[in-house]
Structure 1
Amino acid sequence: MFERVSGSATEDNEKISAPSLSFLQDSWRRLKKNKAAVVSLVIICIIVLLAFAAPIIAPHSPEAQITEHSSLPPKVPGIDINGLNGTAKPGVERIDKYAQVNAGDDVYYLLGTDSLGRDLLSRILYGTRVSLIIAFVAALFDLTIGVTYGLISGWTGGRIDNVMQRILEILSGVPNLVVVILMILVLDPGITSIIIALAITGWIPMARIVRAQTLKLKNQEYILAAQTLGESPWKIATKHLISNLSGVIIIQTMFSIPAAIFFEAFLSFIGIGIPAPLASLGTLISDGYKTFRFLPHLMWYPAGVLCILMISFNLLADGLRDAFDPKMKD
């Protein structure tokens, strides 16, 4: 009355249907579900590629001045829409600005020109590249100085930790604007002074976050087991701590990039950032602000690029935070 059960009938009970995923693969799977973060990632990649390919794709030199073509509105060939057809309305009637200066049919500027006859599209491409370089250098300082300082402070503890934290409090008490002004007194205003100012104080939030997480992780069982087995602190930090802190580090780095972009734009807007004739998003917005009532396109386009960058980086950072640490959504 009884029949022997074959092995094939019970094999499926122990079978794992889903493939095993690593931490990064599982994080990428969760990130892809966040449509806003994926769209932001695509937008950031496109802007970065366009900005760093500016010497190749820019239609004109960003510093070339053609005074005859000054203050021309945007003109896109084949499009007859007000605002994109090279016409302007300074008074009652709308006039063709390109025909007024005898520019010719083959002359057009996709985003118009400024008061000195410089192509706005080329200046935006080069200016975005300058802003991104400053932001990526600031992120590099976060990854090197901030992570190293936080690991040493949290791992050693005791008096060394107290001294290192008091140093952080002193540095964080000095505003970035004061540091930049002091750098300008010593160095010429430009990219170097802004990068040094960010290098002095920009890594402090990263150091504090890494220290707090290190204090939390160094009493875990696997860390105590590694110490018992005789692992050196350097190997514990590189093999265990940094790998478990990678999510927090990446998230904080992504938040530091838009902060650095906005900081550079603010400095350039108030006139102590990137000097002329170099262009950045802040200097372009500052130049367009002066003639906003008459030439609004000079401010709208660089301001739009800055807003898109800020929103995209913040949405991507939120998506990465949810992907690397799903518990934070609770």
Structure 2
Amino acid sequence: MYLNYFGLRDNPFSIAPNPDYLYMSPRHKEALAHLTFGLRESGGFVMLTGEVGTGKTTVSRKLLQQLPDNTQVAMILNPTLSALELLATVCDELGIQYDADKASLKYFTDCILGHLADNHTAGINTVLMVDEAQHLMPEVLEQLRLLTNLETNREKLLKVVLIGQPELQQLLKRNELRQLAQRITARYHLLPLTSPEVSAYIAHRLSVAGGDISIFSKGTLRAVHQITGGIPRVINLLCDRALTLSFTKQHAVVKKPIFLAAAEQILGDDIVSQRLQGQRKAWYAMTFIIAIAVGFAVGRAYV
């Protein structure tokens, strides 16, 4: 609706995972480096956690792009499975033929371990990536650990990437999963974007779409970080709505009141009000601390 009005070739804030709009902030690059390092180590597991919408999928897709060509990847996108169902899904993902009538934990495990050994002989690395891993049951996680038992003198024949929300960290603290937790060679918790990173994120997406950051006022950019908390998915939703509202009102620039109106439509009045009040309290506290520090310094000058 607003593309021609703002001189854009494409929707810069679509929530579809378009790789053309991929923005790797310093935090995302650091997360990618941790995972890449972990997969090169001898251990069986690496883990990426973060709140909803912080960009875990972005990092995982970039990780897949950087894996060597001699890598076979199995993706588990729906982890709410029993141990038996998980092993069957791994077989499906790796293209392993099996007889459904013989389905059992031992049968599927033997099939997978045989495939891992064949891949290793052929010089092929095998990686299993599990998204939304916080939903895995402890017994399923334990089954994954058992799959990583097959190893050479130098490395595991199966590397597992666990991607999930912060609850995954708590899950792995359970006593019965301590052996698995000890096998995690790299872990990274992805935090939201900082205020400068939010501006850089918006500028990048607008640039790819043929626009520039001047479409948003400086006050609006500060408000984006304040209201969204630096969560990329929320930034996309609110900026898209703000551009739509600015178009309907025929404003050439997205101003702060328009953005706040868009935020209220998406998040609700109470959420927006709460976050604005939180920012004011932080500002008052900082001002108070600065005033005390200045007063103390002036007082010492007269001593």
Higher relative contact order (CA 8 A, sep 6+): 2
Q: Which has the higher helix share?
A: 1
Q: Which has the higher strand share?
A: 2
TM superposition score normalised by structure 2: 0.22
Larger Rg: 1
TM superposition score normalised by structure 1: 0.21
